[in-house]
Amino acid sequence: MKILMLGWEYPPHISGGLATACQGLVESLLKKGHEVLFLLPKAVKEMQSERFRLISASNVELPKKQDSITYPQLRKLIPNVDPTQIHNLSGDKYNFSGAYGPNLIEEVYWLGVVVSKLAKELEFDIIHAHDWLTFPAGIIAKEISRKPLLVHVHATAFDRSAKINREIYEIERQGMLVADKVMAVSNLTKKIIIDKYHIDAKKVITTYNGVKQKDISQNLDTSRFKEKIVTFLGRITYQKGPEYFIEAAEKVLKRDRNVRFVMAGKGDLMAEMIKIVAVKRLSSHFHFTGFLKGHEVDRMLAMTDVFVMPSISEPFGIAPLEAIQANIPVIISRQSGVAEVLPHAFIVDYWDTDSLSEAIYGLINHKSFAKMVKGLNRVTLQNLTWGHAAETVSSTYQSVA
Amino acid sequence: MKNICFTFQVHQPYRLRNFHFFEIGSHYNYFDEETNAKIMRQIVEESYLPTNKLLLNLINTFGNKIKVSFAISGTALNQMEQYVPEVLESFKELAATGNIEFLGQNYATSLSSLKSESAFHEEVLEHKRLINKLFRKRPKVFLNTGLLYSDEIGKMISDLGFKGVITEGSSVILNGKSPNNLYKSASRPPLSLFLRNTSLSDDIALRFSQRNWNEWPLTSEKYLGWLSALPASDELVNLVMDYGTFGEHHKKESGIFEFLEFLFRHIAESKDLKLSTPEEVLKSVSAKAKLKISTPISWTGTDKNGSVWLKNEMQQEAFDTLYVMENLIKKTKDKFLHQDWERLKSADHFLYMNNFDEDLNNLFNPYENPYAAFLKYMNVLSDFQLKVEDKTKKSAKRKNSRSFSKKQIDETIN
């Protein structure tokens, strides 16, 4: 089948797990014989192979005249953007940043305009939209082409902050309502979609992410520290539960000074976390790395003895899978979708820092325990491929085509 | 006459408290009194007391035609004493009839027979003393943890004065021979081997209330028919099961009590079958052949060996860490340390650390998963190690200070 896929990022442009997930899924769909046209705001470079095209919306000429669908729809979905107040128009193209900056909602709007042109000119069988950023574009593409729309929910407004953004919630809800099928990255997310967005359960399908199988025997630096390294890797935001990691670190360090904690990543809570660590007088054993790029992530993992993901709300969470691949024992919160596919991971409630610190202490002090957790998880991982994910997606395509 | 030997195993471990790693070094209590008492009370009420009563009634009616043997662990006996003394009285009452045989065991149902002969030796003697104290009985036949047995273990058991031992009638060792005869140990021929009849025992212990079993419902008549149909050359049938089978694993509503009662009545009235105890069998039946068993067998798991307790890395690390301390603990001569050490040796702790795939129901397993079981156990063991070290240092200090003061005195005098 020919798929018009709408996304916000694609490697090498990576901000969170979304780019990696899109790539993993696309590559496996291609292997299954599908064709994919992938539209995103701004591609680092446009790519084209036999059955794959990465289209940068920044390079698409805006439609010359208005149609009866696009602007009314956009006015309804995104009432706060005024199309006459355009900031980044250059000639007849809109210059997307593709970032998550202050113009985000405006870019979401203009992606809808761009897609209206493609929906008329390109041929495809199905529209597959990743997350709310592309849902307005997905809805417009469906209305113009009359092709089925599948929305793929990697995260919801409930996972992003304690305070729900009503504007985004409404866009998400409209996307799910209009869609023929809704794909959720875990049962946790499926439940939110049913309970909080009131979407018919029959329409929602859980599609777990996969993980790229890669060779871990590469030669990377190991730790320069004599102490064990416990790592938090991800955005330092409310949703990721960074303060619980610090709390657990404090408890472990009270008993065992032979360990260092690393918080790798950046985010809006970073400054606050640095402050908390200083107030708790943990700074000599607690380190912040800032944002890590791809190969730096690999190096960080190579140094790591225990990987912790204490997320408060994590729709899925690919990071622990990468840690398992790097042969590291992982501890994840029960509030992470990925826990559903890792029956042998060490699972704790995010707020239970007693259990979390105990597990960290156990993993750094008992070799057999770490070995078991690693071994059992690696076996699980072998069955958690993007090929499997693509199979579920494929059969969902079949069901609506 | 075929001998039907019913052997009931009664065991409860001292389950650990939720001992957090913050508490390592605190030397707080390790055991979950509340849970242990609750579980003991529950199983006593649902199983031990009603079954004891049933046996007692049968003995009152049929006299010495009703005979069974019990293997009651030391940790179970101590918890009965602590939490539900009336059940201990009920066992004593049964013992007083003279129709009950008590089997030898190691005190805490440990795995010492696989690791330390000296520890095993001590545990068996401790259990023997307890049985003698409570029931005025001297066990002659032995039942090891999970029916663990090998030629090596046989030597240890025989050296402790036992005449017979009960182990699993595993197909690996039988090689087509019948489990329903008496055999001899290859390493210590005076030691007789009683082999548990796996399928007939499990028909009652495991399958009795399984509705998808093609023999369900199992009636006492049907079961009696199976016993009677055994070839004439079969001299004894060993039916060994957990005592909780009656009323706990199979609830009252399953009809398990009626089954047991009528089965015993039929056997008591039968011309070809009689209920016996192992010690009696030793007098009337002679051992057929020697059985060579070089690697340990047991009645647990699919492999029927020691793997359910010591298969994975966590189990092995915990096990090795525990036994490394043996000599240090002996040196302290501390009663309380010794008691903790005994309770920590129960095989149950290692079973809880078994892999996720094993079915550990019916065990009152207090843990969510094997990781939690391992972490709690290791926290306790770490604290226990510190406790033993403290004690060792203190006694060393005492000795030093004494000799120092003597020296001081000498110097003063001179």
Q: For residue A155, count CB atoms less than 10 angstroms from its CB and return exposed for 0-12, middle for 13-18, buried for 19 or more.
A: buried
Contact B371 A361 (CB under 8 A): no
Chain B nearest CA to A378, separation (Å): 15
**Residue A5 class from Cβ within 10 Å (0-12 exposed, 13-18 middle, 19+ buried)?**
buried
Q: What pLDDT does residue A89 have?
A: 73
CA distance B386 to chain A (A): 14
A360, A351, A369, A370: which is closest to A259 by C-alpha? A360
Using pLDDT thresholds of 50, 70 and 90, give the confidence band for residue A163. confident
CA A46 to chain centroid: 22
For chain A positions 219-258, those within 8 Å of chain B (CB to CB) are 251, 254-255
How close is the nearest chain A Cα to the Cα of B314, in Å?
A: 5
Partners of residue A354 in chain B, C-beta under 8 Å: 20, 22
Residue B366: the pLDDT is 87
Residues contacting residue A43 through CB under 8 Å, at least 6 positions apart? A10, A13, A54, A55, A56, A58, A98
> Per-residue confidence at A221, pLDDT binned at 50, 70, 90?
low
| CA–CA gap between residue B200 and residue B207 (Å, rounded) | 10
**Residue B330: CB atoms within 10 Å:** 15
Q: What is the pLDDT of residue B401?
A: 58
Nearest to B316 among A251, A344, A368 (CB): A368
Give yes or no for residue A23 having a pLDDT over 60: yes
Overall average pLDDT of the B75-93 stretch: 97
Token pair of A306 as six digits: 């225990």
- Residues contacting residue A368 through CB under 8 Å, at least 6 positions apart: B312, B313, B314, B316, B317, B318, B374
Q: How far is B23 from chain A (nearest CA, A)?
A: 10
Closest residue on chain B to A248 (Cα): B22
User: In Å, how far are A342, A370, B332, B337 from B397, measured between CA atoms?
Assistant: 51, 38, 13, 19
- Report the residue from A255, A367, A368 with minimal CB separation from B21: A255
CB of A23 within 8 Å of any CB in chain B?
no
Q: What is the pLDDT of residue A213?
A: 73
Interface of B with A (CB under 8 A): 20-22, 24, 312-314, 316-318, 355-356, 370-371, 374-375, 378-379
CB A345 within 8 A of CB A359: no
Is the pLDDT at B24 greater than 60? The verdict is: yes
Residue A217 has pLDDT above 80, yes or no: no
- For CA atoms B183, B187, B188, B191, the dihedral sign is negative
- Over the stretch A45-77, which tens digit does the pLDDT of each residue have? 888 888 999 999 999 999 888 888 999 999 999
Interchain contact A99–B (C-beta under 8 A): no
Contacts of A277 (CB under 8 A, 6+ apart): A246, A283, A286, A288
Q: Does A359 touch chain B (CB under 8 A)?
A: yes
For residue A85, is pLDDT > 80? no
Q: CB contact, 8 Å: A334 with chain B?
A: no
pLDDT tens figures, A111-133: 999 999 999 999 999 999 999 99
Task: Compute the distance between CA of residue B156 and CA of residue B348 in angstroms, rounded to an integer.
Answer: 22
In this structure, are strands B100-102 and B68-72 parallel, antiparallel, or unpaired?
parallel
CA distance B354 to chain A (A): 11
Q: How far away is chain A from the Cα of B317, in angstroms, using its nearest Cα?
A: 6
Q: Determine which helix (DSSP H) or strand (DSSP E) holds B181, and give its type and residue range.
A: none
What average pLDDT does range A170-184 have in this prediction? 97
CB contact under 8 A, B375 and A254: no
The verdict on a CB contact (< 8 Å) between B24 and A362 is no
Contacts of A372 in chain B (CB under 8 A): 312-314, 370-371
pLDDT score for B368? 87
Give ∠ CA A198-A201-A207 in degrees, rounded to 5: 115
Inter-chain touch B313–A368, beta carbons under 8 Å: yes
For residue A305, give how far its alpha carbon lies from the nearest alpha carbon of chain B (Å): 17
pLDDT tens per residue, range A186-209: 999 999 999 999 999 999 999 999
List the single range of A20-29, A93-102, B131-140, B318-327 with lowest mean pLDDT: A93-102
CB within 8 A of B229, min separation 6: which ones? Answer: none
B387-407 mean pLDDT = 72
Q: Is residue B397 pLDDT above 70, yes or no?
A: yes
Could you give the C-alpha distances from A84 to A63, A64, A91, A134, B131, in angstroms and in order? 15, 15, 15, 21, 95
Q: Is pLDDT above 90 for B398? A: no
Q: Is the pLDDT of residue B75 over 60?
A: yes
Alpha carbon of B306: minimum distance to chain A alpha carbons (Å) = 19
Which pair of structure tokens corresponds to residue A307? 């990987």
| Residue B141 · residue B164 · CB < 8 Å | yes
**Partner residue opposite A373 with nearest CB, options B316, B355, B371:** B371
Exposure of B240 in the CB half-sphere (CA atoms within 13 A): 29
* CB contact at 8 A, A87 and A66: no
pLDDT surpasses 70 at B247: yes
> Which pLDDT value is given to residue B89?
97
Q: Residue range B63-83: average pLDDT?
A: 97
B22 contacts A254? CB cut-off 8 A: yes
Q: Which residue among A255, A343, A372 sits closest to B24, beta carbon to beta carbon?
A: A255
- Of the listed ranges A155-169, A300-314, B53-67, B73-87, the least confidently predicted one is A155-169
For residues B114 and A337, give the distance between their C-alpha atoms in angstroms, rounded to a whole number: 43
pLDDT attached to residue B400: 64
> From residue B386, how far is each of B23, B329, B389, B391 by CA, in Å?
12, 12, 5, 8
Tokens of B104: 């030898």
Note the pTM of the prediction, 2 decimals.
0.88
- How many angstroms away from the CA of A158 is the closest CA of chain B? 29
* Cβ <8 Å between A362 and B22: no
- Summarize the confidence of residues B226-249 as an average pLDDT: 96
Cis peptide before A12 (omega within 30 of 0): yes
Beta-carbon separation of A354 and B20 below 8 A: yes
Q: Cis bond leading into B190, ω under 30°?
A: no
Q: Average the pLDDT over each of A80-84, A390-394, B187-191, B393-397 and give the range with the smallest value.
A: B393-397
Residues in chain B: 414
Chain B residues closer than 8 Å to A367 by CB? 313, 317
Mean pLDDT computed over A384-389: 92
- Whether residue A309 is predicted with pLDDT greater than 70 in this model: the reply is yes
Q: CB distance from A358 to chain B under 8 Å?
A: yes
Name which of B290, B286, B303 is nearest B146 in CA terms: B303
Asked whether residue A291 carries a pLDDT value surpassing 60, the answer given is yes
Residue B309, number of CB atoms within 10 A of its CB: 26
Across the A:B interface, residue pairs with CB atoms under 8 Å apart total: 53
Of the partner residues B21, B24, B317, the one whose CB lies closest to the CB of residue A367: B317
B399: confidence class by pLDDT, cuts 50, 70, 90: low
- Residue B402: count other Cβ atoms within 10 Å of its Cβ: 10
Tell me which DSSP letter residue B271 carries: S
pLDDT, tens digit, 9 for 90 and up, residues A264-282: 999 999 999 999 999 999 9
The reported pLDDT for the residue numbered B305 is 86
At residue A269, the 3 state secondary structure works out as coil
**Pairwise CB contact (< 8 Å): B312 & A254:** no
Q: B115: which residues sit within 8 A by CB, 6+ positions away?
A: B319, B323
- Which percentage of chain A shows pLDDT scores above 70? 96
- The Cα A38–Cα A36 span in angstroms is 6
Q: Count CB neighbours of B391 within 10 A.
A: 18
Q: Which residues of B touch A255 (CB under 8 A)?
A: 21-22, 24
Closest CB to A366: pick one of B24, B355, B378: B378
For residues A326 and A299, what is the distance between their CA atoms, to the nearest angstrom?
A: 10
Give contacts of B355 with chain A, Cβ < 8 Å.
376
Residue A60 tokens read as: 């698409």
**A369 shares contact with chain B (CB less than 8 Å):** yes
What is each CA distance from B62 to A343, B70, B74, B97, B113, in whole angstroms? 54, 19, 30, 12, 39
Contact of A69 with A115, CB cutoff 8 Å: no
- What's the confidence (pLDDT) of residue A400? 93
Q: Please give the residue that has the higher pLDDT: either B400 or B309.
A: B309
Q: Are A91 and A62 in contact (CB under 8 A)?
A: no
**pLDDT, tens digit (0-9, with 9 covering 90-100), for B127-170:** 999 999 999 999 999 999 999 999 999 999 999 999 999 999 98
CB contacts of A358 in chain B (<8 Å) are 20-21, 375, 379
Confidence of residue B359 (pLDDT cuts 50, 70, 90): low
A382 and chain B: CB distance < 8 Å anywhere?
Answer: no
Mean pLDDT of chain A: 92
Residues A75 and A241: their CA atoms lie apart, in Å, by 36
pLDDT of the residue at A295: 85
CB contact under 8 A, B21 and A372: no
| C-beta of residue B136 within 8 angstroms of C-beta of residue B338 | no
Measured between alpha carbons, how far is B280 from B274 in angstroms, rounded to an integer?
Answer: 11
pLDDT(B26) > 70: yes
CB-closest option in A358, A361, A369 to B314: A369
